[in-house]
Amino acid sequence: MRFPTLIVPALALALTACGGNSEPQPTAADNSATAEATQQLDAKVAALSEGQRNGVFIRAIRDAGLPCQGVTASERSGDAQATWTATCTDGSKHIIAFTPDGMAKVTSMTRK
């Protein structure tokens, strides 16, 4: 009768794996708060002088481990909120997207 002893724990494990996600799903209010935080952050970045903004961007690029000796230009990336394009002195470009908590995600657009 060893067979039923092994089946019960296996079934329990399988049923546990089939359970739904225990994390609460974001509500409309959460999404609205996130959008508002993103808009506020975008406004703060836009309010910086070009020199200050480029200083923030070079720090984000270097923190991402990407080479950049200096940022010579920066501009908003289309219609995306809190997303900017920075151009380094060597001509390389990087997209910098800020999350609502102020973290920067950097994506390199360098040519190969």
Determine the pLDDT at residue 3: 47
Report the pLDDT value the prediction gives residue 13, as an integer from 0 to 100: 47
Lowest model confidence (mean pLDDT) among 3-7, 18-22, 65-69, 104-108? 3-7
What tens digit of pLDDT does each residue of 41-52 get?
888 888 999 999
Bridge partners (DSSP) listed for residue 104 = 98
Average pLDDT over residues 86-112: 89
- pTM (predicted TM-score): 0.66
The residue with tokens 């506020």 is: 40
Going across the sheet that includes 83-88, the strands are: 71-76, 83-88, 93-98, 104-108
- Mean pLDDT over residues 11-29, rounded? 54
Domain ranges of the chain: 36-112
pLDDT at 15 over 60: no
